[in-house]
Chains A and B, each alone.
Chain A
Amino acid sequence: MHRTGELYGQFETLEQQKDTASFGMWVFLAQEVLFFGGLFMAYTVNRRAYPWAFGAGSSTLDLTLGGANTVVLILSSLTMAMSVWAAQVGKKRLVTWMLIATLGLGTVFLGVKVVEYKQKFDHHLIPGHGFDIRYVSQHPELAKNPEEAAKEAEELDKAFAKDPDLNAHAQLYFSLYFGMTGLHALHMIVGAGLLLWLIAESIGGRYTPKYNTPVETVGLYWHFVDIVWIYLFPLLYLIDRHN
């Protein structure tokens, strides 16, 4: 089917095309809910089985970085929504700026994730042969400060007392941590690619009140990725923080 202007040949009107594209993205997001949902199921079963290991694993995550990332991502949802608004009211330059802001914030998020992953690698918390939940507490120079390391060692002793296989079970926590945040990051990278495409098109002035469907549909995708993180943050970073 060929295209005349912005209208693709299988459609009768631009309105039908817009409704269809938007609805198509929603249906796609429904399947994404179930895709991530399988991981959430695995998380639920494992956390119920190994609460001490999950608590121990969660305590090794940097709450400042995780919290900051949460703020960054929600802010990027705001800028994304603003770019849709800008297109709807005909502010073409603002569309581009808001998209750039969204991409920038998304890149910050991914950068922080790289820092976090590297830290896990240094702390021997990557699942596999070298995995050792006790590594940081036994190497206080890696901790934020010596009291932290001592406190962590004490907490780990308590946890090991309750669950002798804590190391193996903590590996399960980290497999899920990397699986869930990794899949999320992969989705963000795809989102970043889509944003780059939108930015390029918006510079050419393509998005107007009459035609802004791609901005809206990419926006739906971006907000969904934000929602996944809204759940990942408490589930991964905030287990047993009160201990």
Chain B
Amino acid sequence: MSEHIVSPKIYLAIFGTLMLGTFLTVVAAYRDLGQWNIVVALAIATFKATLVVLYFMHARYSPKRTQLVVICAVFWLAIMLALTLSDYTTRQHEGRIITPSAAHSLSV
């Protein structure tokens, strides 16, 4: 078979890195970084996800069409998020619903 066999050593190394990343995420969450909290959280998560895709899922050793599929999926998700937010962030009140305080309106 013309497949690339990834050694368990690499898997263990990746696993270790993922554990470190998880630990860092929690630590960072307990520090007040203002608007950067979410950026750090997503950056670490993306780094972890990338490792899983490249090594556990063998994307690094896969044919180009597989890599294209991965890139397209991420890109399309990014389009959905970015273009929708481009509408929200440019609306009045950022498109938020402003309801009068009415806890009793819960009973529909």
Asked if B107 is at the interface (CB within 8 A of a chain A CB), the reply is yes
- Whether A242 pairs with B32 at a CB distance below 8 angstroms is yes
Min CB–CB distance B93 → chain A (angstroms): 10
Q: Apart from A74-B18, A82-B8, what 8 extra A-B contacts exist at CB < 8 Å? A: A19-B63, A27-B69, A30-B70, A49-B95, A67-B22, A70-B22, A85-B11, A242-B30
Contact (A44, B81) CB under 8 Å given A27-B69, A30-B72, A85-B6: yes
Say what secondary structure dominates the interface of chain A. helix
**Which partner residue on chain A sits nearest B23 by CB separation?**
A67
How many chain B residues sit at the interface, stated as a range, is 35 or more
**Pairs across A and B, CB under 8 Å, 10 listed:** A18-B1, A30-B70, A37-B77, A37-B81, A40-B81, A41-B81, A165-B103, A227-B49, A227-B52, A240-B37
Residue in contact with B73 in the complex, picked from A34, A48, A131, CB distance below 8 Å: A34
Instruction: Mark out the residues of chain B between 13 and 45 whose CB falls within 8 Å of any chain A CB in the assembled complex.
Output: 14-15, 18-19, 22, 25-26, 29-33, 37, 41-42, 44-45
Centre residue among A34, A223, A224 by max chain B CB count within 10 A:
A223
Say what secondary structure dominates the interface of chain B. helix
User: A74 CA to B18 CA in the complex, in Å?
Assistant: 8
- Whether B31 pairs with A74 at a CB distance below 8 angstroms is no
Q: Which residues of B contact A33 (CB under 8 A)?
A: 73-74, 76-77
